[in-house]
Amino acid sequence: MGETDRIARVRCATILHRLETPIEFGSWVMRHREFALVRVDSESGLSGFAYCLTRDGPIAAIIERTIAPHYVSEAPTDPERLFFKALWSNHAVHAAGIGMRALSVVDIAAWDLAARAADQSITRYLGGEPQRMPVTGIVGYPPSIGPEQTARQVEQLRAQGWRRFKLPIAPTLDLSIERLRAAREAAPDGWIGIDANMVFRSAEDAIAFGRRLEPLGIGWFEDIVPPGDAALVAEIRAGIRTPVAMGDEQGGSYHPQALLKFDAVDVQRVDATTNGGITRLRGILETVRASGTGIAPHMFPHVHSQVLGALGYTDAPIEWGIPGTGVHPMDDVLVQPTVVDGLMEPLPEAPGLGTLVEPAWIAEQERVTDPDDLLADL
């Protein structure tokens, strides 16, 4: 891109992937995974891409109405300036929740475009070098599978070099314990974590379950209660021995300050697709590190492994779902990691974030909404 190049278009397509087995976490029932795919085009013909989970929110509508106008006709070489230009244009919508999610995914695509223009990987564009990083395998999906199937997933990954494994909470607490016990037996020297997916509503219930975890040597108890009450999280943390991890999809104006202020977590979860893109991630990471709290990103391994590695957070474990289990299906057809003794080798270097779009997979999905022909020439 020359000095006069400008952003020509910001487009969003919505892709619905139907899950073979619905996922139920209390009243939260997922029958599909829906993704928003963003494309930022320059006048010179380059494009940057990113995607996020919509969580059934109107990501595309927000991008079209309140975000894209602040990027179009601007120079694409300063994504940080454009992020704050858009952020400060609508405090009510962009500061948190679904608005922040929409802005975050546009920001990631804008950084992808800027790195591609420099003909550099995003890692080198951010000033870093490719790094080996720890990885966590997401096992136990769908959550309704039993202990034996869960153990087989752990055993297969362990044979491939994985050493960290995280399970979602099961339909019943007793089944959750049985699955964790099976995972522990399959990986007696491994790290085992549990994601509660916010099913608990009181400190009393969460603490009672947390104490059942203690004999199993669980690495963390994650996303215990719905977002919005840092004092409640702190109360739970004080009542159990298992480390508490929260924060990835709870970003907004006071993330991560609220959880840190209440000393509520042992591990701060982060997610570039919800917490403010690459632009805001740097400051969040610095704030968390200064507090002495651990850091772990949520999914989106093709983004987080390259960006966190570039910024020097090489001890943050990168999460990967097992392809075909419904964890994060848009990742399944992209490059998968090579793991040696718990560490993933750096992903192959390519301009920007590398390949984040597989049109053939998208074409197979139940519903693709692409009003601006984002996919037409891919």
DSSP string, 132-163: -EEEEEE-S-STTS-HHHHHHHHHHHHHTT--
Residue 252 confidence (pLDDT) above 80: no
Q: With 70 as the cut, is the pLDDT of residue 251 above it?
A: no
Supply the pLDDT for residue 198. 94
> For the residues of 295-323, what is the DSSP string, one character each?
EEE-S-HHHHHHHHHHTT-TTSPEEEEPT
**pLDDT-derived band at 257, boundaries 50, 70, 90:** very high
pTM: 0.97
pLDDT at site 253: 74
Q: Is residue 17 in a domain?
A: yes
| CATH number of the domain enclosing 318 | 3.20.20.120
Please name the amino acid found at residue 368.
Answer: V
Tokens 């947390």 belong to residue? 210
In the block, residue with structure tokens 């909404």: 369
Same domain, 222 and 252: yes
My answer on whether 109 and 150 are in the same domain is no
**Range 279-287 average pLDDT:** 96
- Domain region containing 94: 7-120+355-369
Instruction: Please give the pLDDT value at position 315.
Output: 97
Percent of the chain with pLDDT over 70: 98
- Same domain, residue pair 336 and 215: yes
| Residue 31 belongs to domain with CATH number | 3.30.390.10
Same domain, 188 and 90: no
Residues 229 and 315 in one domain: yes
Specify if 201 maps to a domain.
Answer: yes
Judge whether residue 1 has pLDDT over 70.
no
Q: Are residues 258 and 365 in the same domain?
A: no
Query: What is the average pLDDT across 54-58?
Result: 96
Q: Does one domain contain both 43 and 169?
A: no
| Distances in whole angstroms, Cα of residue 162 to Cα of each of 156, 282, 305, 318, 322 | 9, 28, 16, 12, 12
349 assigned to some structural domain: no
Give dist(CA 7, CA 209) in Å, integer.
Answer: 51
**Does residue 372 carry a pLDDT above 60?**
yes
pLDDT of residue 345 exceeding 70: yes
Domain count, the chain: 2
**162 and 97 in a common domain:** no
Q: Are residues 190 and 98 in the same domain?
A: no
Q: Domain check: are 150 and 33 in the same one?
A: no
Q: Is residue 374 part of a domain?
A: no
The answer on 273 and 130 residing in a single domain is: yes
Residue 377 lies in a domain: no
Question: What local confidence, expressed as pLDDT, does residue 250 receive?
Answer: 67
The verdict on 98 and 142 lying in the same domain is no
Residue 174 DSSP SS3: helix
pLDDT at residue 249 in the model: 78
